[in-house]
């Protein structure tokens, strides 16, 4: 018993130490991403053409923060690298703050949480490719952790508005978070019903039933915005159709999340975990229904970005009652999956 207590205390000390050790990789990643070449990431080159080769125009009725940042950088006669560096700082700052907030809830190891995040294939895409959506989701993740901490509601609303000002599609996860928060107050058995619907949606996707079946109404909602072109059935040379690799990927981490939920010892933490788990399930529905569309991976980001948060309790949280040290196996999988995609 005494040995178990000493081990637990040692783990807590390691977790506290990780709060300081994590700063080095965050700084290094920020610098590497900020000072990257202009041909690293599709959007990096696209934004160089749109924001530097052309004169960006501000439209305050829609997404404007990217253009505003570019104009401010140009006002001081600074080059595009300064713009990429500032965007990189914003992205990694909010990812770091979000991971730190959530790790503190579970007294988990922050360094391992960051390593898990950067091991996933979508991390590279968020930071160098779909950078505007990446920054938007990073800010939204921070707002999400503030919500789970029951922080000031005004602050949560402000960060949510800022996220939308970077990328309008953040309205979708905001609505999903609101729905998930509401559903989490219902019976705990609701989770299992949602999981049943999860597999039902997979079946619909396999039968090629999805967003295209309701495209007319969605196109009206999007109006003349260019995003409505994602719903008109044109593929733009993008492979559409049922993607078993995404189904297996999301389902694997759903099973891991259900395992974690079952083994959480704190009732209050389990309630908070229900919010993010319900969000993940519903966001996965959207991904599966989007298989008919080009750029379905953009829809996938809505669910993928919370996976590192779903698995954070595995990283030495004292509130997880687990007989199997599953995080060791999981970390090996994360390393393999992450670097496999980096190398491809």
Mention every residue, 6+ apart, whose C-beta is less than 8 A from residue 303: 250, 280, 283, 284, 286, 287
What is the DSSP-derived secondary structure letter of residue 324? S
Q: Which residues pair with 320 in a beta bridge?
A: 264
pTM assigned to the model? 0.87
CA separation for the pair 97, 293 (Å, rounded)? 33
CB 136 within 8 A of CB 64: no
Mention every residue, 6+ apart, whose C-beta is less than 8 A from residue 311: 116, 253, 256, 257, 260, 327, 330
Which residue is associated with the tokens 């719903």? 231
**By 3-state DSSP, what share of the chain in percent is helix, strand and coil, each rounded to 5?**
75, 0, 25
> Which tokens hold the place of 338?
């992450």
The 3-state DSSP class for residue 124 equals helix
CA separation for the pair 159, 141 (Å, rounded)? 10
How many Cα atoms within 13 Å fall on the side-chain side of residue 209?
6
Please state, as a whole number, how many other Cβ atoms lie within 10 Å of the Cβ of residue 308: 26
pLDDT tens track, the chain, 344 positions: 443 444 455 566 666 777 778 899 999 999 999 898 888 877 888 888 888 877 777 776 667 888 888 888 988 888 889 999 999 999 999 999 999 999 999 988 898 889 888 888 888 888 888 888 999 999 999 999 999 988 889 999 999 999 999 988 899 999 999 999 999 888 778 999 999 999 999 999 999 888 887 655 554 444 444 454 455 545 455 667 788 889 998 999 999 999 999 999 888 899 999 999 999 999 999 999 988 887 777 888 999 999 999 999 988 788 887 655 566 566 656 666 655 555 45
CA separation for the pair 208, 141 (Å, rounded)? 31
Query: What are residue 264's phi and psi, to 5 degrees?
Result: -75, 135
Which residue is associated with the tokens 């229904």? 289
- The predicted-structure confidence for 218-249, as pLDDT tens digits, reads as follows 544 444 444 544 555 454 556 677 888 899 98
Determine the pLDDT at residue 60.
67
- The predicted-structure confidence for 76-87, as pLDDT tens digits, reads as follows 888 889 999 999
């Amino acid at each position: 018993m005494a040995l178990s207590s000493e081990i637990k205390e040692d783990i807590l000390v390691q977790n506290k130490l990780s709060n300081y050790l994590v700063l080095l990789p965050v700084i290094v990643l920020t610098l590497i991403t900020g000072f990257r070449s202009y041909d690293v990431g599709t959007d990096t080159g696209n934004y160089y053409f749109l924001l530097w080769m052309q004169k960006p125009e501000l439209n305050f009725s829609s997404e404007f923060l990217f253009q505003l940042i570019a104009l401010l950088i140009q006002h001081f006669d600074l080059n595009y690298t300064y713009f990429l560096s500032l965007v990189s700082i914003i992205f990694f700052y909010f990812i770091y703050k979000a991971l730190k907030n959530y790790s503190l809830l579970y007294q988990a190891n922050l360094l391992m949480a960051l390593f898990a995040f950067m091991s996933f294939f979508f991390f590279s895409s968020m930071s160098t490719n779909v950078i505007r959506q990446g920054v938007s989701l990073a800010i939204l993740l921070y707002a999400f952790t503030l919500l789970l901490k029951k922080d000031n509601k005004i602050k949560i609303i402000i960060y949510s508005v800022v996220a939308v000002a970077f990328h309008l599609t953040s309205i979708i996860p905001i609505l999903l978070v609101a729905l998930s928060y509401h559903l989490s107050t219902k019976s705990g058995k609701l989770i299992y019903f949602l999981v049943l619907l999860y597999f039902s949606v997979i079946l619909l996707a396999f039968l090629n039933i999805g967003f295209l079946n309701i495209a007319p109404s969605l196109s009206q909602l999007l109006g003349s915005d260019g995003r409505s072109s994602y719903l008109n059935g044109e593929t733009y040379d993008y492979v559409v159709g049922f993607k078993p690799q995404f189904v297996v990927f999301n389902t694997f981490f759903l099973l891991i999340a259900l395992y974690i939920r079952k083994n959480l010892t704190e009732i209050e933490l389990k309630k908070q975990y229900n919010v993010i788990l319900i969000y993940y399930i519903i966001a996965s529905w959207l991904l599966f229904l989007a298989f008919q569309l080009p750029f379905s991976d953009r829809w996938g980001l809505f669910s993928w970005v919370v996976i590192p948060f779903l698995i954070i309790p595995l990283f030495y949280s004292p509130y997880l009652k687990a007989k199997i040290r599953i995080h060791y196996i999981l970390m090996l999988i994360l390393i393999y999956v992450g670097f496999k995609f980096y190398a491809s």
